[in-house]
Amino acid sequence: MDYEALFTSALDDLKTEGRYRIFAELERKRGSFPRARCHNHEGVEEVTVWCSNDYLGMGQKDIVIDAMHQTLDKCGAGAGGTRNISGTTHQHILLERELADLHNKEAALLFTSGYVSNWAALGTLGERLPNCVILSDAGNHASMIEGIRHSRAERQVFKHSDPEDLNRRLADLDPARPKLVAFESVYSMDGDIAPIAEILDVCEAHGAMSYIDEVHAVGLYGPRGGGVAEREGLMDRITVIEGTLGKAFGVMGGYIAGSAAMCDFVRSFASGFIFSTALPPAIAAGATASIKHLKVSQLERARHQERVATVRRKLNALGIPMMDNPSHIIPVMVCDPHKCKMISDWLLDNHGIYVQPINYPTVPKGTERLRITPSPVHSDGDIDKLVNALSEIWSHCALARVPVAA
Ligand SMILES: *Cc1c(COP(=O)(O)O)cnc(C)c1O
């Protein structure tokens, strides 16, 4: 058997379809985000990053970095073990308290990433609650889908952000069965926001638990950065709130927040929590500093929303097609995998603008896009450069524009 040939032919298929992934090799520079150094075969060049999920630039903030330095110097590099075996440090406990407080819940539980938190929490709840059925939004993230699959619980996929379809499905289920409804607040690729209150109404009418992924919302929405559910005054109606420390909080890690018993249940049964080394204390301290800051400071959130609105307005004025949505995510629609990759390469090579192409399977075929994420630290000059470069390539490739409103 020629195993190498098997690997290569699978990769060749990806290349033919225009969805072979090439990573940009970046070197982030403290204090100069969104600027970064990009290493390529020709050497190193300075680029402006337009697709980071460090949405607020918190990964570069002195308060976060200082907290990490201090803890690194005081406590050393790693946690030294799983949470159960010598890896629960003071910094982990402080962070879990901070998170419980952020979401106004009794408790929170940390994981090494948001992916692991979804995988482990959904896997454990679905597996350990007898005869549980999980209702999963059709737009859910891979980490939720994998967690649900891993649970081996019965799964039903309801139409994306459709409380009526959810209601019909729940009504057909035995009222005595445990039920869990899993969905997101801000969907990361289309940037749409779930009708959370309506979904919770349906959950409550049928005695179902609710599980919300607020990964693209924590830090960014709500008066204390608790997410869309905080902004809408809905946190207390949600059974499990899941989030990441790696996006708007700028560091790394994932978590769930909820009742003390629910968190203790997942802590006690989740393999992905129990058998994995805890996050380094310095990471936990950095995340805590970031959350604490964003609980009281509105500056970053306000500037973020203003920058997003400015980019949208300027792209609109030039007729560059965007998916309309109420969030901070700006999907510029190319709708062809080869062109999407080509435009991304051209922006990088000719303008030092880095926007990763988003192709299938991350988004459906035919909806390939450039997912632009403005941050508070993108300047007016950065925005003008981006918008003018996009306009130039749109003309050059004779791509369709949308009519510009007078
Ligand atoms: C990125 C992402 C995750 C995973 O979080 P990480 O901390 O990056 O592992 C979970 N859910 C959604 C919707 C995401 O986009």
Secondary structure of the chain in the HEC alphabet? Answer: CCHHHHHHHHHHHHHHCCCCCCCCEEEECCCCCCEEEEEECCEEEEEEECCCCCCCCHHHCHHHHHHHHHHHHHHCCCCCCEHHHHHCCHHHHHHHHHHHHHCCCCEEEEECCHHHHHHHHHHHHHHHCCCCEEEEECCCCHHHHHHHHHHCCEEEEECCCCHHHHHHHHHCCCCCCCEEEEEECECCCCCCECCHHHHHHHHHHCCCEEEEECCCCCCCCCCCCCCHHHHCCCHHHCCEEEEECCCCCCCCCEEEEECHHHHHHHHHHCHHHHCCECCCHHHHHHHHHHHHHHHHCCHHHHHHHHHHHHHHHHHHHCCCCECCCCCCCEEEECCCHHHHHHHHHHHHHHHCEECCEECCCCCCCCCCEEEECCCCCCCHHHHHHHHHHHHHHHHHCCCCCCCCCC
Q: Which residues' Cβ are closer than 6 Å to ligand 1?
A: 113-115, 118, 141, 143, 184, 188, 213, 215-216, 244, 246, 254
Question: Separation of 395 CA from ligand 1 center, angstroms?
Answer: 35
> How far lies 167's CA from each of 120, 131, 172, 199, 232, in Å?
26, 19, 9, 9, 21
Chain-centroid distance of CA 258 in Å reads 20
φ, ψ at 395 (rounded to 5°): -70, -45
Paired tokens of 70: 């201090």
Is the per-residue pLDDT at 403 higher than 90? no
Percent of the chain with pLDDT over 70: 100
Q: What is the pLDDT of residue 398?
A: 83
| Ligand 1 closest atom vs CA 118 | 10
- How large is the average pLDDT for residues 56-74? 98
CB contact at 8 A, 283 and 366: no
Is the per-residue pLDDT at 405 higher than 70? no
- How large is the average pLDDT for residues 158-168? 98
How far is residue 243's CA from residue 248's CA, in Å, rounded to a whole number?
10
Question: Separation of 399 CA from ligand 1 center, angstroms?
Answer: 32
Q: How confident is the model at residue 406 (pLDDT cuts 50, 70, 90)?
A: low
- 247 catalytic per annotation: yes
Question: Separation of 400 CA from ligand 1 center, angstroms?
Answer: 32
How far is residue 175's CA from residue 182's CA, in Å, rounded to a whole number?
18
What pTM does this model have?
A: 0.97
Paired tokens of 328: 């901070």
| Ligand 1 closest atom vs CA 254 | 7
Taking alpha carbons only, the member of 65, 331, 355, 106 closest to residue 235 is: 106
Write the CB contacts of 152 (distance below 8 Å, at least 6 apart in sequence). 126, 127
- How large is the average pLDDT for residues 338-365? 94
Residue reference for tokens 């062809």: 336
Question: Separation of 97 CA from ligand 1 center, angstroms?
Answer: 21
Identify the active-site residue in 61, 179, 247, 314.
247
> How far lies 346's CA from each of 46, 116, 175, 397, 405, in Å?
15, 35, 56, 11, 29
CB contact at 8 A, 170 and 200: no
| Ligand 1 closest atom vs CA 244 | 7
Is the per-residue pLDDT at 399 higher than 90? no
Residue 63 region by backbone torsions, left for phi larger than 0, else alpha for psi between -120 and 50, else beta: alpha
Q: Per-residue pLDDT tens for 195-248?
A: 999 999 999 999 999 999 999 999 999 999 999 999 999 999 999 999 999 999
How far is residue 31's CA from residue 57's CA, in Å, rounded to a whole number?
9
- How large is the average pLDDT for residues 91-117? 98
